[in-house]
Amino acid sequence: MINRRVFIAAAGAAGIALRAGAETPLVRPPRVRPGDRVGLVNPATAAFETMPIEIMVEALESLGLEVVLSPNYYQRHGYFAGTDAERAADINAFFADSSIRMIFARGGWGSARVLPLLDYELIAANPKVLLGYSDATALITGVHSKTRLVTFHGPSPLDRYSADYFRRVVMNGEAVEMRNLEEIDDDKLVQTEHRLQTLRPGKARGPALGGNLTVLTAIMGSPYLPDFDGAVLFLEDVNEAVYRVDRMLTELRLAGILERISGFVFGRCTDCEPGTSYGSLTLEQVLREHIEPLGIPAFSGSMIGHIDQQFTIPLGIDVEIDAAAGTIRMLDAAVS
């Protein structure tokens, strides 16, 4: 049998890009500090309007950060923000630029197309915060898988709740506990918003991995997916019929991923309604049918997804979930 270390060394000498294994140490990027420059990249859908971008820039500036847009940010190639090569070049350039301390990736569709064009040796040699969600799931997952760099699933901090988690995780270097808002409207007797549902009680520990369900399943079978052994898998989605969620969870199960995780968190599936034809399972039924047989701690309703108020979750950092309390607790800092 070929010695693994000898094989890796030989492959590296031959210039073969290998996916970083779980035994490779995590790389924590330097924390972001007030006054740092943040690079905005658009690896996916073209930005057709400027005002949403202006709002995002102002929100980051309110945290004391200096914002720089990538050269091709407003480029157009069909529905993409430039060609695959142009979008990848922006990401590579920001990792190479020592003055850029954080990179925020916009969503849409197209991040998966740039993965083969990224310079992973360059990225590994210049670790920095890479943050995004939705379609950026492909980017943050691919970079983490290839380099073991801790990347971040989270939104631009447009509201105080999201900004608080962003600041504490990315800027302060805290190991935070993520807990849903507990608010009761004045005219209600009980909490109706931000409710959690326990699928199976218990606590579980493992590296946090996941993101958008559609995007994650779209890169299955590629070298850009991490090792899910013992992971806490978190998922979210938007504008997907329940049968499609069922189909994608089935794909994860058939690929053996669900059987390998230690815990499961489902965030929000925004505008994911049952069909209107001859009948449908509910989203709750689909989650229970796929997750309960695993016998692992699991809950749904976490503030992850296409919603205004969100957590910032570091990929690769060990967390502990409490499925009865609906919490996600980081066990270590995500930045150095």
Domain boundaries, the chain: 21-171, 180-330
Percentage helix, strand, coil for the chain under 3-state DSSP, each rounded to 5:
30, 20, 45
Please report the pLDDT score of residue 16 as a whole number: 34
Domain at 180-330, CATH class: alpha beta
Mean pLDDT confidence for 140-166? 96
pLDDT in tens, 291-322: 999 999 999 999 999 999 999 999 999 999 99
Report the number of secondary-structure helices (H) and strands (E) in the chain.
Answer: 10, 14
- Intrachain domains 21-171 and 180-330 with the same fold: no
Q: Are 235 and 208 in contact (CB under 8 A)?
A: no
Q: What is the pLDDT of residue 120?
A: 98
Residues found in the chain = 336
pTM for this predicted structure: 0.91
Q: Which CATH superfamily is domain 21-171 in?
A: Murein tetrapeptidase LD-carboxypeptidase, N-terminal domain (3.40.50.10740)
Specify the residue for token string 């447009």: 158
Q: Using 50, 70 and 90 to split pLDDT, how confident is the model at 20? A: low
- How far is residue 88's CA from residue 135's CA, in Å, rounded to a whole number? 15
Residue-level pLDDT at 22: 55
The pLDDT tens digits of the residues spanning 128-150 come to 999 999 999 999 999 999 999 99
Backbone angles phi, psi at 20, to 5 degrees: -65, 130
Residues assigned a catalytic role: 134, 236, 306
